[in-house]
Amino acid sequence: MQFDRRQLSNEQLLLFYQKLLWPRMIEEKMLVLLRQGKISKWFSGIGQEAIAVGATLAMQKDEWIMPLHRNLGVFTTRNMPLSKLFMQWQGAQEGYSKGRERSFHFGNKQHHICGMISHLGPQLAIADGVALAYKLRKEDKASLAFTGEGGTSEGDFHEALNVAAVWDLPVIFLIENNGYGLSTPSEDQFRCISLVDKAKGYGMEGVQIDGNNILTVYDTIKGVRDYCIRHQKPYLVECITFRMRGHEEASGTKYVPKKLFDLWEMKDPVKNYEHYLLSSGVLKEADAEQIKNELKEKIENELQAGFAVNPVVADTETELDDVYAKKSDPDNYRDGDRKSAVRIIDNSGSDSDIGLPTSDLRLIDAIKQGLYQSMEAHPDLILMGQDIAEYGGAFKITEGFLEKFGKGRVRNTPLCESAIVGAALGLGLEGFKSMMEMQFADFVTVGFNQIINNLAKIHYRWGQNADVVIRMPAGGGVGAGPFHSQSNEAWFVHTPGLKVVYPSTPVDAKGLLIAAINDPNPVMYFEHKALYRSISGPVPEEYYEIEIGKARHVREGDEISIITYGSGVHWAEDYAAEHPEISIDILDLRTLLPLDYIAIREAVQRTGRVLLLHEDTLIGGVGGEIAAWIGENCFSLLDAPVMRCASLDTPVPFSIELENNFLARSRLEEMIEKLINY
């Protein structure tokens, strides 16, 4: 192995030695503790330390790195205390994730490390978002994301590289090619000769290097970083290396030919670098032993502190409280007591008088106005979506935004839903807000993993908020067929960490969108396509919020309560208007997560007969959850069983006749009569 010190001083070479030796000695100790049952699992990076250490040394300390589970060297080179890392590995509440995450599935904003999720690929797109933030601020910075050779088979790899190339982002994609994805060898993962060849397909530069040579890794990443910043371009680096342990210790290494271990033992990154320093006179044998003894003593001291933890005590209130980031309130004011820019109005009653100057707007215009005013209020708000710039979006909601706010903030995206959700999260790491438009709610499945496993869980896992709104044009009634008509809100109501809103009126559409953008948590914002231009009403011209989590009492009644949202509100109102002989009470939930259980209980109490109405299909719909809650908590208030009126448990058909039969509205009268006559 040939080492080229370039302009590095002896002091720097020795620093590199200590940084390289530190994770190796920690790992050797961890393997002993694993056998003693003092830690539960370990993903070893032995044999690959030069990549994590060298790359981290080449980056600035305030540049984000997205490591994986074999990159202990990233954490140690960023000087994270071993004592607290050990607390993390034990699952102690004093660790970085309060006992909620395992091994290296955590991040820390102070050290600019973004924690991985088990799905591996999504980390790459987060680096896109961070790099976009650097680019928008014109900062001389780049982000760095790790992946393994197995991870390059994931769609997220393609999407992240494609977006980085199209948007000219200063991001480094680093592949650790150790030959195996768990037990699957490279020849069963890909057919290209070298993974770096993929760079050309995305219009970016790439280089393959010896990942076991710390000076090569350092010099390469340092140069690549400078290139990315100077040219505002991404770069792909493939590091050839080898994993000397199993995928994780329990899996073993029987599937690896012994001759490979013999070969790569000769390429050990720590031993070879130590030999280079000794042979070049930079390091003496006695000094090397002293450094190792000092590090060994440090490990023992740090572990002693790491073992001094309290037993895990589960507190339900704390666990629930940490699911969402807290919203600070300096920018809100109520009842005319102006503090800053946004008013919170109470629009929860059927006859509420907002008392503000209004204009009559369609639902689509109210959404547009809320988004426009939010762009004015938040210079750090970035809009992303397919065709939202020059074209103005599939439904023209962002028409004119490009001319007002510019291409930096109103961004057309490739057809890469997963990468754009990930980029939105990356923007959030750097303090930006983002709104992503799913062209149709049906397309959200392509970005499902990022939403469910990254956005929703990140605050609970390590305290990082995800300041992201995803707009979801949803619903049927427009003859658009199975892939442009779904009501899929229930998928997200089941996911702790998300907020889900679904307005039915223009005034709520504007106020809830503004509230969603002001909220530091990920919000799924559903807007019904059939209501866009068919529903209109008075909307305050002012910049205001409708509080997330508060239902609206639409209509007073004492015979039957219809609890609904979205299009169901208008179906219920139409039916009530056509049947004045029935005293119908209507509650518009508006927010589906979190639900307004107080308002639901009051609706039950007013009539004793409850019909849950929604456009979504019956099985697994939101109505089932609410019905169960009412049965458990309001049973004594009921005069009849809680009933549900929902759409058929089929895909949404294309034919208007079939779709009308599919929709819950076709069974509303039947269900109301059944409930009244019970």
Question: Catalytic amino acids?
Answer: 484
The one-character DSSP state at 454 is I
In angstroms, the CA 290 to CA 300 distance is 15
In angstroms, the CA 316 to CA 370 distance is 37
Residues 6+ apart with CB under 8 A from 578: none
State in Å, rounded, how far the first CA of the chain is from the last one.
Answer: 84
Q: How many C-beta atoms lie closer than 10 Å to residue 583's C-beta?
A: 15
Strands 184-185 and 205-210: unpaired
Q: What angle do CA 340, 345, 347 make, to 5 degrees?
A: 170
**DSSP string of 462-524?**
HS----EEEEEEE--SSS--TTS----HHHHHTSTT-EEE---SHHHHHHHHHHHHHSSS-EE
DSSP-assigned beta bridge partners for residue 562: 586, 611
Q: Is 264 helix (H, G, I), strand (E, B) or coil?
A: helix
CA atoms within 13 A on the CB side of 47: 22
Alpha-carbon separation of residue 362 from 67, 473, 504 (angstroms) = 47, 15, 11
Q: How many C-beta atoms lie closer than 10 Å to residue 535's C-beta?
A: 20
With beta carbons less than 8 A apart as the criterion, state whether 600 and 629 touch. Answer: yes
Residues 6+ apart with CB under 8 A from 309: 87, 90, 92, 93, 94
Q: How many C-beta atoms lie closer than 10 Å to residue 334's C-beta?
A: 14
**DSSP string of 133-153?**
HHHHTT-S--EEEEEETGGGG
Helix, strand, coil percent values for the chain (each to nearest 5): 45, 15, 40
Alpha-carbon separation of residue 195 from 5, 200, 215, 242, 284 (angstroms) = 27, 10, 22, 15, 39
Nearest to 66 by CA among 404, 417, 539, 454: 454
CA atoms within 13 A on the CB side of 51: 33
Question: Which run of H or E residues covers position 563?
Answer: strand 560-564
In angstroms, the CA 209 to CA 107 distance is 28
Q: Is 213 helix (H, G, I), strand (E, B) or coil?
A: coil
CA atoms within 13 A on the CB side of 60: 10
